[in-house]
Chains A and B, each alone.
Chain A
Amino acid sequence: QKEVEQDPGPLSVPEGAIVSLNCTYSNSAFQYFMWYRQYSRKGPELLMYTYSSGNKEDGRFTAQVDKSSKYISLFIRDSQPSDSATYLCAMSAAGRRALTFGSGTRLQVQP
């Protein structure tokens, strides 16, 4: 079983919708949580970074971490066609030197 699970999608929504992207994980030691956005044939770019539990908001993006459920979410408000990309969750723990990634969810926002 993978340490981090992520639904591959594709997830198709109309422009303006609220999008919810999720990852579950099995390692309770994970404390650092990130979301990356990857456009086709490009490298992943960092969107959000959260330490431990709680919410973090940046513009149209909100990241939530629920450590008791081992569940993290990324919400996108007022989604735009330019948000169409693959979204990767990533996480790590103290003492680990590398990130563990989910396999990514492909999002399509229809104009």
Chain B
Amino acid sequence: DAGITQSPRHKVTETGTPVTLRCHQTENHRYMYWYRQDPGHGLRLIHYSYGVKDTDKGEVSDGYSVSRSKTEDFLLTLESATSSQTSVYFCAISAKEVDTQYFGPGTRLTVL
């Protein structure tokens, strides 16, 4: 987890409320990713960023948006949280486009 922090680490919220998760890195890596992890599904990519203000969708992007205004920060926003978005969210970083990724400690989100 060195060099990558996520906040908050735990959050409980209600259906319909907006939620923003933050990923912060100190490695100056260009590429950043948001995944969700659910039993039986492994890690699934939500969105990724290949530079400041450059983002693209992953396989499970519906209901999520992202922003990256600085190299070190990548924000994931749930505009109107639903119970199906209850999950563990991981941020990852990599130095090159096709390269090993290093993961943060995760955020456990519960939507009631």
Contact = CB atoms under 8 A, between A and B. Distances in A.
Given A97-B56, A102-B42, A43 B50 contact: no
B49 to A, nearest CB: 10
Nearest to B91: A43
A43 B103 contact: yes
B103 A97 contact: no
Contacts, number: 55
A99 interface: yes
Given A8-B40, A43-B90, A88-B42, A98 B105 contact: no
B48 interface: yes
B48 A98 contact: yes
B90 A32 contact: no
Interface stretch (B12-20, B68-76, B93-101): B93-101
A97 B42 contact: no
Given A43-B106, A49-B100, A103-B40, A98 B58 contact: yes
Task: Give the interface centre of B100, B104, B106 by most chain A CB atoms within 10 Å.
Answer: B100
Interface in B75-109: 90, 97-106, 108
How many of chain B's residues touch chain A, expressed as a range? 20 to 34
Interface string A19-38: 00000000000001010100
Contacts of A94: 98
A96 B105 contact: no
A60 B100 CA distance: 21
A46 B50 CA distance: 21
Interface of A: 6, 8, 32, 34, 36, 41-46, 49, 88, 90, 92-99, 101-104
Interface of B: 1, 31, 33, 40-45, 48, 50, 56, 58, 90, 97-106, 108
